[in-house]
Amino acid sequence: MSDPTSGSGIPYRFDPTTTAAAVEAEYGGLTDGEETGVVVTVAGRLMLRRDQGKLAFGDLQDATGRVQLFALQRSTADFEGFTGLHLGDWIGVTGEVIKTRRGELSIRVDSWVRLAEARRGFPDKWHGMTDVDTRFRQRYVDLWVTEESRAAFVARSQIMSATRRWLEDRAFIEVETPVFHPIPGGALARPFTTHHNALDLDLYLRIAPELYLKRLTVGGFERVFEIARVFRNEGLSTRHNPEFTMLELYQAYADYTDIMELVEQLVAHLATEVCGTTKLTYDGRELDLSVPWRRATLLELLAEHGGLIVDLDTSRDELVRLCEEHDIPVKDHYGPGKLILELYEKTTEPELWGPVFVTDYPKEVSPLSRDHRDQPGWVERFEGIVAGRELCNAFTELVDVDEQRARFEAQEAEKVAGDVEAMAVDEDYLRALEYGLPPTGGLGIGMDRLVMILTGTKTIRDVILFPTLRPEQ
Partner RNA sequence: GGGUCGCUAGCUCAACUGGUAGAGCAUCGGACUCUUAAUCCGCAGGUUCGGGGUUCAAGUCCCCGGCGACCCA
> Is 190 within 8 Å of 421 (Cβ atoms)?
yes
Q: How many CB atoms lie within 10 A of CB 186?
A: 27
Closest distance between RNA and the C-beta of residue 64, in Å? Answer: 18
Judging by DSSP bridges, how do beta strands 389-396 and 378-386 pair with one another? antiparallel
Which contiguous run of DSSP H or E holds residue 381? strand 378-386
> Quick one: 134 or 157, whose CB is closer to RNA?
134
Residues 6+ apart with CB under 8 A from 98: 30, 33, 34, 35, 36, 70, 105, 106, 107, 108
Q: Which residues ranging from 38 to 67 are in contact with RNA (CB under 7 A)?
A: 48-55, 57, 59
Closest distance between RNA and the C-beta of residue 374, in Å? Answer: 35
> Quick one: 126 or 140, whose CB is closer to RNA?
126
> Quick one: 217 or 347, whose CB is closer to RNA?
347
373 binds RNA (CB under 7 A): no
> Is 150 within 8 Å of 135 (Cβ atoms)?
no
> Quick one: 17 or 237, whose CB is closer to RNA?
237
240 binds RNA (CB under 7 A): no
Number of H helices, E strands in the chain: 13, 18
Q: Which residues ranging from 158 to 187 are in contact with RNA (CB under 7 A)?
A: none
> Quick one: 228 or 323, whose CB is closer to RNA?
323
> Quick one: 251 or 347, whose CB is closer to RNA?
347
> Quick one: 6 or 73, whose CB is closer to RNA?
73
> Quick one: 165 or 321, whose CB is closer to RNA?
321
Site for RNA (CB under 7 A): which residue of 90, 112, 122, 204?
122
| Binding piece for RNA, criterion CB under 7 A, among 96-104, 363-371, 401-409, 442-450 | 96-104
123 binds RNA (CB under 7 A): yes
| Binding piece for RNA, criterion CB under 7 A, among 18-26, 123-131, 294-302, 355-363 | 123-131
72 binds RNA (CB under 7 A): yes
- What span, in angstroms and rounded, lies between the C-alpha atoms of 217 and 433? 10
> Is 227 within 8 Å of 176 (Cβ atoms)?
no
Per-residue binding string, RNA, 260-289, x by CB under 7 A, is ------------------------------
Cα 100 off chain centre by? 43
> Is 310 within 8 Å of 300 (Cβ atoms)?
no
Length of the chain: 473
- What span, in angstroms and rounded, lies between the C-alpha atoms of 214 and 209? 9
- What span, in angstroms and rounded, lies between the C-alpha atoms of 135 and 234? 23
For residue 9, CA distances in Å to 17, 110, 111, 216 come to 21, 18, 14, 55
| Binding piece for RNA, criterion CB under 7 A, among 174-182, 211-219, 274-282, 465-473 | 465-473
351 binds RNA (CB under 7 A): no
> Is 107 within 8 Å of 30 (Cβ atoms)?
no
Q: Give the burial class of 155: count Cβ atoms within 10 A of its Cβ; 0-12 exposed, 13-18 middle, 19 or more buried.
A: buried
Closest distance between RNA and the C-beta of residue 137, in Å? Answer: 9
> Quick one: 170 or 346, whose CB is closer to RNA?
346
Site for RNA (CB under 7 A): which residue of 9, 29, 81, 103?
103
Q: Which residues ranging from 439 to 458 are in contact with RNA (CB under 7 A)?
A: 458
Binding site for RNA (CB under 7 A): 33, 48-55, 57, 59, 68, 70, 72-74, 83-84, 86-87, 100-104, 106, 120-134, 235, 237-238, 327, 458-459, 461, 469-470, 472-473
